[in-house]
Amino acid sequence: MLNQAAGDRQILAKQLNISPYQLSYVTNSGEGEGLLFYGTTIIPFKDKFDKSLKLYSLMTTKPEEVEQREKEGGGSLGRERTERKRESCK
């Protein structure tokens, strides 16, 4: 879970048993900060990913960065997977 609006945070905190400390990770949080949920375990995280890596360009969900990657011929990850599957079926 990433940054949430105040009203949504309170609803989610109550429904998911999120502590005030854990809520701080989704309150005015920055890029790469949030909460991971694994069963009943809640894991706060902060991840500063190197934007110069190819992996970053494949993982980003920022529309402007995805659009830029496609303009530069990088395509979309979904399209790349589909093309690889087609090639492997030949």
- By the 10 Å C-beta count (0-12 exposed, 13-18 middle, 19+ buried), 26 is classed as buried
Q: Mind listing the pLDDT tens digit for each residue in 25-76?
A: 899 888 888 999 999 999 998 888 888 888 888 878 788 888 888 887 765 5
Q: Is the pLDDT of residue 89 over 80?
A: no
